Amino acid sequence: MLTAFARAFKTPDLRKKLLFTLGIIVVYRVGTHIPIPGVDYRNVQTCIDNAQANQGLFGLVNMFSGGALLQITIFALGIMPYITASIILQLLTVVIPRLEALKKEGQAGTAKITQYTRYLTIALAVLQGTGLVATARSGALFQGCPVASQIVPDQSIFVTITMVITMTAGTATVMWLGELITDRGIGNGMSILMFISIAATFPSALWAIKEQGSLADGWIEFGTVILVGLVVIALVVFVEQAQRRIPVQYAKRMIGRRSYGGTSTYIPLKVNQAGIIPVIFASSLLYIPALIAQFAGGSSGWKTWIEKNLALPDAPMHMVLYFLLIIFFAFFYVAISFNPEEVADNMKKYGGFIPGIRAGRPTAEYLSYVLNRITWPGSLYLGLIALVPTMALAGFGANQNFPFGGTSILIIVGVGLETVKQIESQLQQRNYEGFLR
């Protein structure tokens, strides 16, 4: 593998792409440390150093922003508005016929949907930026911090609008940087920025576990976490690469004196067909009641119940609901993203069939049957991986952003595998051996 890396940098075209991508990453990481105007940076650092402040409701968004959210920098919103906009457009494509027609138009339709995604990203950035400023001004961003209400000293309308515009411009810049990596770098720009954001939080999270440990000055807990992380990564790689290959045979056709078709291929159905989407949906849905209770005044019974059963990640009710919601959203997303009837119709149109299965409706029913069977282990796997941070919270005293579990490890492994495959394909085009031998 090291030889493959050396050959990648020896290839002029590929070296330019890799160096350009690294340069964009440096710019992105610099932007995550530049505070926005109107924020008292010293009070922010005081609250970040507070142990209770790092276990708030904004841990997931803070992880996706590479720690920029809690520091309230120009890239505080990070890539989250774009992710949310992409998911919304993907769901609306199934519901709105106009978007579905655009999707079928090929490259022109995809470009139009991408344009809609950009507009929706800016709108969501304005909405989320306004919410973040309001949360910071009220002191709810850092619960338990004595100077939380003094983060934004000047609470005038002009300062508020300036802060929202700055964060919205930061989100637009992040979106532009991701598209630059896609066009001029090694590809998958948004995914790589997400990868960098999550990977940037690993060192501090691991060192915090070592500092909080009590066995041999924390080194035993540190080593245990590393071993658990390696096991989890191996499990994630194994499941993410696992797929059910359904054989497809195309009939031979004679057109004039030439024969066409007669080839064999397969339909790859991944065990984790839904990817990371169910975990994001479940986390977002569980954050809503906890967020409402946080902003609600007084000490009513429903607020106390939510704070006791839903706001705490290690609460039994929270864990059970989280697990069940992940399973539900896994089946839901697979149902709207993979249409067996459409696949069966396309196979029938081009003379393809599954050996032993009649073309048309029997093929669609067979695909639905196989998809439901492999979605069950995939959804259970997602639920168990997502609960790893909660188990780490109880076993090691870590926060809910435990590095080797949940959303973070799924994204790290998924993006890492996809990036390696892209670099490998470019190496093989130049008659070099790839990473995976």
How many Cβ atoms sit within 10 Å of the Cβ of residue 217?
11
Beta-bridge mates of residue 353: 249
Give per-residue burial for 98-122: e unless 16+ CB within 10 Å, then b. Answer: ebeebbeeeeeeeeebeeebeebbb
Q: Do 1-200 and 223-404 come out as alike in CATH topology? A: yes
| 245-249-251 Cα angle (round to 5) | 165
The CA distance from 252 to 262, in Å, is 4
Token pair in block for residue 284 = 């977002």
Alpha helices in 296-405 (DSSP H): 301-309, 316-337, 340-349, 361-386, 388-395
Is the pTM above the cut of 0.85? no
Contact between residue 266 and residue 247 where contact means Cβ atoms under 8 Å apart: yes
Q: Indicate the domain borders of the chain.
A: 1-200, 223-404
Q: What is the pLDDT along the chain (437 residues), one digit of tens a residue?
A: 566 667 777 778 888 888 999 999 999 999 888 888 888 888 888 887 764 444 445 666 677 777 777 788 899 888 888 888 888 888 888 788 888 888 878 788 888 988 999 999 999 999 988 888 888 887 777 777 777 778 888 888 898 899 999 999 999 999 999 999 988 888 888 888 888 888 887 887 777 777 776 666 678 877 887 887 888 888 888 888 888 888 888 877 666 666 665 678 888 888 888 888 888 788 777 777 776 776 666 667 777 777 777 766 677 888 888 889 999 989 988 888 888 888 888 888 877 888 888 888 888 899 999 999 999 999 998 888 888 766 665 555 555 555 666 677 888 888 888 888 888 777 777 665 555 55
The CA distance from 114 to 226, in Å, is 39
User: Which pLDDT value is given to residue 53?
Assistant: 42
Contact between residue 117 and residue 136 where contact means Cβ atoms under 8 Å apart: no
Cα–Cα distances in angstroms (integers) from residue 134 to residues 92, 157, 160, 162, in the given order? 29, 11, 9, 13
Alpha helices in 185-257 (DSSP H): 189-199, 202-212, 219-241
User: Which pLDDT value is given to residue 337?
Assistant: 82
The CA distance from 402 to 341, in Å, is 41
Q: What's the fold here for domain 1-200?
A: Preprotein translocase SecY subunit (1.10.3370)
Q: Which CATH class is domain 223-404?
A: mainly alpha
Instruction: State in Å, rounded, how far the first CA of the chain is from the last one.
Output: 9
User: Which pLDDT value is given to residue 122?
Assistant: 94
